[in-house]
Amino acid sequence: MKIIMLGAPGAGKGTQAKMLSEKYDIPHISTGDIFRANIKNNTELGKKAKGYMDAGQLVPDELVVDLVVDRIKQQDCFKGFILDGFPRTIPQAEALDYALNNQNEKIDYAVNVDVPDEAIIERMSGRRACVGCGATYHIKYNPTKKPDVCDVCGEKLILREDDKAETVKKRLEVYHEQTQPLIDYYAKKDALLTVDGTQDINVVFNTIVGVLEK
């Protein structure tokens, strides 16, 4: 099963992607996590990406496309994969289609987690992220067992620099301008599954699984 997650920053893409990845035993590939790991390790890619990310802008297509196309060719992706945070622009979607086409493959579902802008700001101010394993939590909606410590790997949690209200507003603008057009793009391919992302995490998950297994 080849799935991509669509939705505004903070809509719950990562949360659902992680749950789907466990259920179907296919890799969860988050471009945001890949960039954050590169920044943490001070790589060339990390240095190039950091300025864009801190400003709430997208990293240029040429820095992300090859990275993803190479990743999904790896052995562990044969059964399928979940792309979280990619594609984010029409050129990225076209590059992905082109790469899959060459292998006679295609995206099965684009899961659009739909949450209005008003709800996003609250979600982001309460989001806590683990830089160790990429898990995300929410202080109110999805708390950890011990405060500020990741349930999965035990590392300390952080409030992401780009989750501050000012940067979130910018990211929402960028989303509407550059990423939202992908909803139409996948609808035209008959691959779109839109789910109401304001519901409880488990309700969202069960709704998605219900459609995938129809």
* Interacting residues with Zn ion (CB under 5 A): 130, 132-133, 135, 150, 152-153, 155
- Check residue 80 for interaction with ligand ADP (CB under 6 A): no
- Check residue 46 for interaction with ligand ADP (CB under 6 A): no
| H or E, element range at 2 | strand 2-6
Task: Decide whether 104 or 173 has the Cβ nearer to ligand ADP.
Answer: 173
Point out the residue whose Cβ comes nearest to ligand ADP.
32
Torsion of CA 44, 177, 127, 41, to 10 degrees: 0
Pair 125, 22: CB distance under 8 Å = no
Q: Give the residue, chosen from 53, 107, 110, 172, that forms a contact with ligand ADP under the rule CB under 6 A.
A: 53
Residue 20: count of CB within 10 angstroms of its CB? 23
Q: Give the residue, chosen from 3, 6, 11, 182, that forms a contact with ligand ADP under the rule CB under 6 A.
A: 11
- Check residue 136 for interaction with ligand ADP (CB under 6 A): yes
- How many separate helices (H) and strands (E) can be counted in the chain? 9, 8
Site for ligand ADP in 83-122 (CB under 6 A): 85-86, 88, 92
Q: Which listed option, ligand ADP, Zn ion, none, makes contact with residue 38 (CB within 5 to 8 Å by class)?
A: none
Those residues whose C-beta lies under 8 Å from the C-beta of residue 56, and which sit 6 or more positions away, are 162, 167, 168, 169, 170, 171, 174
Burial class (CB in 10 A: 0-12, 13-18, 19+), 126: middle
Q: So which residues are the catalytic ones?
A: 13, 88, 127, 160, 171
Alpha carbon distance 84, 77 (integer Å):
14
- Check residue 135 for interaction with ligand ADP (CB under 6 A): no
- Check residue 35 for interaction with ligand ADP (CB under 6 A): yes
Alpha carbon distance 107, 174 (integer Å):
24
> Which spans of this chain sit near ligand ADP (rule: CB under 6 A)?
7, 9-15, 31-32, 35, 52-53, 57-59, 64, 85-86, 88, 92, 123, 126-127, 136-138, 141-142, 162, 171, 197, 200-201, 204
